[in-house]
Amino acid sequence: MADRRSSSAGAASSRRPVEHAWLVTGPLALVAVIFSTAIGLVTPHPFGEWGLAGILLAVMVVAGLPMLNFVIGRQSFGVRLTEIPLVLAFYFLPPLMVVLAYTLATLVTHLRYRFGFAKLAFNVANASAAASLAALVLLALPPIRGVGPGTWGVLFASVSTLSLATLVGVAGVITVMHGWQAGTGVLRNVPPLLTLAINVVVGLVVLIALRTTWWSAVLIAALAAAAALVYRSYAQFFRQHRTLGGMYDLTKAMTAEGQSGNLVDVLLGRIRALMQAEYATLWLPAQGRHPEVMLTARVDDSGLLDVAPTPEVIREETRRQQRSLALGVRLGGDEELRTSLRTTGVKDVIAVPLRSGQAVIGTLEVANRLSDVGHFTDSDIPIFETVAAHAAVALENSRLVDRLRHDAYHDTLTKLPNRRRITGALDEAVKIRAPGEVVAVLLFDVDGLRQVNESLGHAAGDKVLVEVAERLRACAPSSALVGRAGGDEFLVTLRLENAEAALELAAQLREQIRDEMVFDALTLDVDTAVGVAVHPDHGSDAASLLQRVDLAATAAKSVPGSVQLFNPALESRSLRRLGLAGDLRRALDEGALEVYFQPKVTLRDRRLVGVECLARWEHPTHGTVSPEDFVAVAEHTGQLGRLTEVVLREGLRRSRDWSHTGQPLAVAVNLAARTLTDQHFPDRVGELLTEYGVPPQRLTLEIRESGVLDGTDRPIPTLRRLRDLGVRLSVDDFGTGDSSLAHLRRLPVHEVKVDRSFVQGMATDPGDLAIVNAVVTLSQQFGLAVVAEGVESELTLELLQDIGCEIGQGFLFSRPLPYERLEAWFGAQVDPETISAGESPRLRVVP
C-alpha cells in the first residue's frame, strides 16, 4: 500500500495547530471501538491461535517498513507490502484478532519513527478504524471456503476496504489541518490502486502456496529476502537517477538564467528540491562595496526570504574552517553546534563553503530533510558539495547575486530605480494613510527624444536621458523616489500636502529640466509633458495610479509643455478610444466617414477661394466622435494612411466637380506628422491628382506646426517632393509651439495659418493682437500667405483687415458643412453675378 507521512515542518505552514487533528482522531477511535465491539458480539470465537497471530504480527511490522520513498511537496509517501500479510491474516485469523494485530503492528511501526503523541494517536486510531471496517466487510460477505476465486474476491474486498479507508482518513486529517485543497491533493498524488492490486495478488499466491504445503514458507521467505534486495537496489538506483536528473536540470537552469535576474530564485529553488530539503540558504558576507546577501528558499514560498533558519555560527564556522559541516541525527557533528541547532528547531543541516579559487566567498546550506522519518545522511554530502561547486561558478565572477538584485530594480542606463522598484514602493506607500497627506506620482515624458535618436544617434539620446535623470535626482525633494519608467518616461513619487502641491512641484521640476543641455558643441532644448496623479483621489493601488498618471501625461502631450492632473474623463476617453479601433476599421471599409467642408474667404473683398476638408464620424452607438479621438486611434492602429486617402479622394473629387460647374475652388487637407515619414506618400498624392484631373496648385496640404518644426530635418525631404509636385503646403495652428517664423525660411511651405486661440483673442487681448500682427507682417516679408482661423465676429474681421491679413475662415462665414449643405450655402451666399472665368466667386452677404 502507499502510506503518507507529513513533514515535521508542516506546522510552520499549517492553517491550524496540530491539536486540531484530534477532531479526526477522536471519531476514528470511537468508530474503531464500536466496530470492534460489534465484531466481538457477532463472532462466536473472536480469538484464534495466538502463536500464528504473533507470527503474522511480526510479518505485518516488517511489511510496514517502506520499501520505496517519494516526497511530494511537504509530504513523504512510502510504498509498503502491508496487504500481503493482511490477506493471510483475514484468511487464517478471526476478524477481531486481525483488527488487534494490525493495530499493534501500526503502533510498533510508528513508535519507531518517534512521532508526536497527536500524530501517533491518529495513525493508530486510523489503522484500527480501517481494520475494523474491513473486518465488518469480511463478515458481511459469504464465508471463506477454500482458496478459490470466491475467496479471492472476499479477501480483495476486505483488504481494499482497509487500504482505502486508511487513505480517506489521512485525507480527512490533512483537510482539517491544511484545507480541502491539500486533502484532495493527497488523493490525487497517491496512486494506491495499482500497488494495492499487486500486493493482494502476491498475498493470494502466498496463501495458495501455504495452503498447498507449509514447506512453501521456506521458499516464500527466500523469495521475500531476494525481493527485499531487489527493492533496495532499485530504491538506490531510483535515488541516483533522480539525483542525476536533478543535477542536470540544475546545471541547465543555471546556464539558461545566468544572465538574468532569476538566477538566485532558480538556483535555490532547484537545490532545495534536489536535496528534498525544507530550506536552502545562500550567504555571501559583505566584501568591499558589496553588502551582505542572505537569501533563503523555503518549500512553502514562491519567493525568497532574507533570513535563515539556522544559527549564524554554523555559517561562520563553515567559512572559517573552509570545509563542509554536517549536523544531524545521522550526521553527527560537533556537539556544541548541534546544541545551538536544536534551539532553532532545525533537525539537520549541511553547510558547504562556496569557493572562488582558494578563497571562500560564502556558504550554501540546506536544512531539514522533508518528512518526519527523513534525515540527511553522509551520502548526501558529496552530492551537495558538487551542487555547491556549480553554484560557486555561477556566482563568483562579480558577486552575481548582488548585481542581479540591483539590476532587477534599477535602470541600467540612468542607475535610477525602475518601474518594478517604484511599483513596489508605491504599493507600500499607499498602505499607510496619513491625515492631510497624499501620495503623489509625477510622470515626466521627454518630448522629441525620438527625433534626437534619429538625427544624432542613440548615443546622444542616451546622454539626454542621463542628463534628465541627473536633473530630476538633484532637484527633487530628498523624500522623493525618482525612477525611470522606461523609454523616455521618468517617475517621481513622494508624499505631499495635496494635489495642488503636486502640480506646483511638477511645474518646478519641469522648468529645471528645460534648461539648455550642452553636449560637446551641440545645445539642445529639452521639454517634457508631465502627468500627475495622487492617492487616494486617483487610485487605491500602485497599478491604478501608474495607469492614470500615464493617461494624464498622454493628455499633457496634446498641449506642449503642460502639466496635467488626472481626471476621470481621461480614463473614460482612453477606454472609449480603445473600443473605437475596430469600429473605425469597419467605418473605413463601409464608407461611414463623412467629409465636411469649411469655406476660406479673402477678407478684403469677401471672395470664396477654397475649402478645408475635415473628416467627421457619426458612430452608431457613441454618436459624434471628435476628430482628435479617431485620428489618434488611426495613428495607433495603422489606419492613418487609409483615413488620409479617404479625405484626399473626397476633396479632389469635389474640386473636380466644382471645376466642371464653373466654380474652381482649392481644397485643403490636414496631414498628421506621421504621414510625413511615409516616403511613398508624395507618389500617392501625384497618382490621386492625375486620377481626378485636379491641378496640383488647387490642393493645399496642412501640417501642424509641431509636425514640421520638430527640431529635425526629417520631414523636409517629403515636403520638398510634395512642393515639386506643385502642391501648396501650409503650416497649421502656427503660434502654439516654441518655433519662430525664422524657422519657416528653411521649409518649402507657402502658407501660414494663425491659430484660432490668438485670432479669437484679438479683440480683447492686446497681446494676442500683437502676435497676430507680427505673424502677418513677417510672413508677408517671407512671401508666405497668411490664413486666420477662428474668425467669428465683424470686429475681428476688421482688425485682420487693418493688419493686412489676406484670408480667413471661421463661423462668421460658415461652420464646416457636409457637401449637400455646402451646395445650399453656395446658393445662398455666393453672388452668381460675380462668378466669371478665372475669378473666385464673391459672397453676397456675411451671415
- Helix (H, G, I), strand (E, B), or coil: what is residue 685? helix
Please say if the pLDDT value at position 578 is more than 80: no
Per-residue model confidence (pLDDT) at position 9: 36
pLDDT at 390 (0 to 100): 79
CA distance 169 to 165: 6
CB 699 within 8 A of CB 652: yes
Per-residue exposure over 422-441, b if at least 16 CB sit within 10 Å of its own CB, e if not: bbebbeebbeeeeeebbbbb
Q: DSSP for 181-206?
A: HHHHHHHHH--HHHHHHHHHHHHHHH
What's residue 11's pLDDT? 35
Q: Measured between alpha carbons, how far is 138 from 566 in angstroms, rounded to an integer? A: 76
Say yes or no to pLDDT of 663 above 90: no
781's grid cell? 516679408
User: Going by DSSP bridges, is the β-strand pair 807-809/785-789 parallel, antiparallel, or unpaired?
Assistant: parallel
| Amino acid (1-letter code) at residue 268 | L
Among 145, 124, 126, which Cα is nearest to 134's? 126
Angstrom distance (rounded) from CA 213 to CA 661:
122
pLDDT of residue 29 exceeding 50, the answer is yes
pLDDT of residue 281: 92
Q: 70 falls in which pLDDT band (50, 70, 90)?
A: very low
- C-beta pairs of 383-388 under 8 Å, 24+ apart in sequence: 383/243, 383/247, 383/274, 383/275, 384/275, 384/324, 384/350, 384/352, 385/324, 385/352, 386/247, 387/247, 387/250, 387/271, 387/274, 387/275, 388/352, 388/353, 388/354, 388/364
Mean pLDDT of 279-308: 82
Q: What is the mean pLDDT of residues 554-564?
A: 76
pLDDT score recorded for residue 387: 83
Average pLDDT for 6-22: 50
Instruction: pLDDT band for 226, please (50, 70, 90 cuts).
Output: confident
Least confident of 93-102, 164-173, 708-717: 708-717
* Residue 328 banded pLDDT, cuts 50, 70, 90: confident
Q: What is the three-state SS of 158-170?
A: HHHHHHHHHHHHH
| pLDDT for res 624 | 85
User: Which one is predicted more confidently, 375 or 468?
Assistant: 468
Query: What average pLDDT does the segment 329-351 reach?
Result: 85
Stretch 121-130: mean pLDDT: 86
Residue 615's pLDDT band, with cuts at 50, 70 and 90, is very high
Residue 846 has pLDDT above 50, yes or no: no
Q: What is the per-residue pLDDT for 8?
A: 37
- pTM here is 0.46
Query: What is the pLDDT of the chain when averaged over all its residues?
Result: 80
Give the model's pLDDT for residue 12: 38
Q: Using an 8 Å Cβ cutoff, are 788 and 759 in contact?
A: yes
Structure confidence at residue 45 (pLDDT): 77
What CA–CA distance (Å, rounded) separates 481 from 303? Answer: 25
The reported pLDDT for the residue numbered 174 is 78
pLDDT digits (tens, 9 = 90+) for 808-843: 999 988 899 998 898 888 878 776 665 555 566 777
Indicate the residue type of 87: V
Rounded Cα distance, 93 and 426, in Å: 71
Q: By CB neighbour count within 10 A (0-12 exposed, 13-18 middle, 19+ buried), where does 847 fall?
A: exposed
Is the pLDDT at 239 greater than 80? The verdict is no
252-267: pLDDT as tens digits: 766 666 555 566 777 8
Say which residue, 600 or 526, is predicted with more confidence.
600
Rounded distance between C-alpha atoms, residue 106 and residue 124, angstroms: 6
Average pLDDT rounded to a whole number, residues 98-112 = 83
Give the pLDDT score at 396: 65
| Grid coordinates belonging to 711 | 527640431
Position with higher pLDDT, 272 vs 243: 272
Amino acid code (one letter) for 624: T
Q: How confident is the model at residue 576 (pLDDT cuts 50, 70, 90)?
A: low
Over range 73-77, report the average pLDDT: 46
- At 807, is the pLDDT very low, low, confident or very high (cuts 50, 70, 90)? very high
Over pLDDT 70: what percentage of the chain?
82
Spatial separation of the C-alpha atoms in residues 341 and 334, rounded to whole Å:
10
Q: Is the dihedral of CA 762, 766, 767, 770 positive or negative?
A: positive
Nearest CA to 645 out of 577, 593, 601, 599 is that of 593
How many CA atoms does the CB half-sphere of 746 hold within 13 Å? 14
| pLDDT score recorded for residue 259 | 53
Contact present, 532 and 499 (Cβ < 8 Å): yes
> Which residues are CB-contacts of 806 (< 8 A; sequence separation ≥ 6)?
602, 603, 604, 785, 786, 787
Sign of CA dihedral 805, 811, 816, 818: negative
In Å, how far from its chain's centre is CA 713? 39
Burial track 96-124 (b if 16+ CB lie within 10 A, e otherwise): bbbbbbbbbbbbebbeeeebeebbbbbbb
Query: Do residues 685 and 722 make contact, with C-beta atoms less than 8 angstroms apart?
Result: yes
DSSP state of 285: -
User: From start to end of 285-424, where are the E strands?
Assistant: 293-298, 304-305, 325-327, 349-356, 359-369
- For 370-417, the pLDDT digits (tens) are 765 568 888 888 888 888 887 787 776 545 555 656 777 888 888 899
- DSSP state, residue 370: S
Which of the two residues, 797 and 195, has the higher pLDDT score?
Answer: 797
User: How many CB atoms neighbour CB 368 within 10 A?
Assistant: 27
Residue corresponding to grid cell 530635418: 713
Q: Is it the case that residue 492 has pLDDT exceeding 50?
A: yes
One-letter amino acid for residue 86 of the chain: L
Q: What is the pLDDT of residues 664-721, one digit of tens each?
A: 889 999 988 788 878 889 999 999 999 999 999 999 999 887 666 655 567 788 888 9
CA–CA gap between residue 413 and residue 469 (Å, rounded): 10
Comparing 654 with 74, the larger pLDDT belongs to 654
522 with 456: CB under 8 angstroms?
yes
